[in-house]
Amino acid sequence: MAVEADLPKSVSKVGEELAEPIIEARGLKKHFPVKRGPMARTEWLRAVDGLDFSLGRDTVFALVGESGCGKSTVARLLLKLLEPTSGEMLFRGRDIAPLRGDALKAYRRAVQIIFQDPFASLNPRRNVLDTLSEPMKIHGLAEPSQYEIRVLELLSKVGMGDVLGRYPHEFSGGQRQRICIARALAVSPEVIVADEPLSALDVSIQAQILNLLQDLRSESGISFIFISHDLRVVEYFSDEVAVMYLGKIIEQAPSVELFKEPRHPYTEVLLASSPGLEPGAKKRAVLGGEVPSPIHIPSGCPFHPRCPKKFSPCDKVVPRLQATSGRPVACHLWNPY
């Protein structure tokens, strides 16, 4: 566009920076040892089994999948609460594994988390002022005399008033989740990992929190890794969606395309399994079987025992996440093996 040509150089440099991912996972794996009984041989639970993805600036990247697919392990790897078995997690192009001391502290400031259960993730013995000034104290972001003012600012950002002296038990679930969000915002992070932030809340409160996250996103340009099992919410909030099954991404696409045209048979079933709101509409598709244990991942395509469209190569050849047909899908139907 003509406008772009007229922009000064520094602006186009910002544009370049925009394209560079903030967070990138390369061949990320996390296997946990499992030993059943003293004489048993150690088995490996492959929670995350080779992930590649990248998170751009100002985007919401959603990880969806059923319980046990490894999405929360990814969140913990991202926060460096767990060390990967192999592969790496990059923050602005640098591996986070060797980070220690000040560098780690800076990373922790840049990447914050909101947990699922706002009842368990606030200290019941600390009032709101203590809870929200703690991050500023740790990272030296404000003078102690400024704490009150800063905390009040944070609270107003999340739609709450002067509740400085109150304790978690005095709040409802939705209000607690607002406090958790304020706590994440206290250090002006670049990335927020939101691990099922709505699932403990009632529908009407979910909508309030979702609106709040949407506002934060457009005002502050924070990127989100949004982990959820609720596809309606994911469709509403995210730009890019990765569907996980047994530790692997099996399909990844911009949200609009994924919901319009799911390609992997699992994604199709997942979308068809969430109930619509039209009474008398077609009954949802029912997928038989259950997710196998991540200790004994089926051979070939991990989804093949449940897949309604499996054919000869599926139980032997592991499909790779390839974009042969324009979008990354790990399925032999889309990528001739």
Partner 1 sequence: MLLEARGLNIFLETRSGPLNIVNSIDLDIPPGGVFGLAGESGCGKSLTALAIMGILPQNLYATGEIRFKDRDLLVLPPEEFRALRGKEMAMVFQEPMTSLNPVLRVDYQIREVITTHMDVSRKEADGMVLELLRAVRSPSPEMRMREYPHQMSGGMRQRVMTAMAIACGPSLLIADEPTTALDVTIEAQILELLDTLRRERDMSVILITHDLGIIAENAETVGIMYAGRIVELAGVKELFEAPKHPYTMGLLRSLPHGRGEGLKPIRGTVPRPGDLPPGCKFSNRCDYVVGDCRKEEPGLRIIGDNHRARCIRAEDLKWP
Binding site for partner 1 (CB under 8 A): 66-67, 172, 174-175, 202-208, 210-211, 229, 231-233, 235-237, 255-256, 259, 269-270, 273-281, 283-288, 290-291
186/331 with CB nearer partner 1: 331
Closest approach of partner 1 to the CB of residue 236, in Å? 3
Q: How many residues belong to the chain?
A: 337
- How far is residue 221 from each of residues 46, 224, 244, measured CA to CA in Å? 34, 9, 26
Closest approach of partner 1 to the CB of residue 36, in Å? 12
Closest approach of partner 1 to the CB of residue 77, in Å? 22
Closest approach of partner 1 to the CB of residue 308, in Å? 12
141/207 with CB nearer partner 1: 207
Phi, psi of 297, deg, nearest 5:
-75, 130
- The residue written with tokens 């259950």 in the block is 290
156/211 with CB nearer partner 1: 211
- The residue written with tokens 């939705």 in the block is 174
Q: Which are the contacts of 296, defined by CB distance < 8 A and separation ≥ 6?
A: none
Closest approach of partner 1 to the CB of residue 284, in Å? 5
Closest approach of partner 1 to the CB of residue 307, in Å? 12
Closest approach of partner 1 to the CB of residue 234, in Å? 9
124/279 with CB nearer partner 1: 279
137/260 with CB nearer partner 1: 260
Closest approach of partner 1 to the CB of residue 35, in Å? 17
Alpha-carbon torsion, ordered 228, 229, 233, 239, to 10 deg = 60
- Give 226's strand partners: 62, 194
**Residue 266 CB: number of other CB atoms within 10 A?**
26
Q: How far apart are CA 100 and CA 3, in angstroms?
A: 44
12/273 with CB nearer partner 1: 273
Q: How far apart are CA 145 and CA 130, in angstroms?
A: 13
Phi, psi of 52, deg, nearest 5:
-130, 120
236/337 with CB nearer partner 1: 236
At residue 48, the 3 state secondary structure works out as strand
Handedness of CA 92, 96, 101, 104 (dihedral sign): positive
**Residue 199 CB: number of other CB atoms within 10 A?**
14
Nearest to 154 by CA among 168, 170, 142: 142
207/318 with CB nearer partner 1: 207
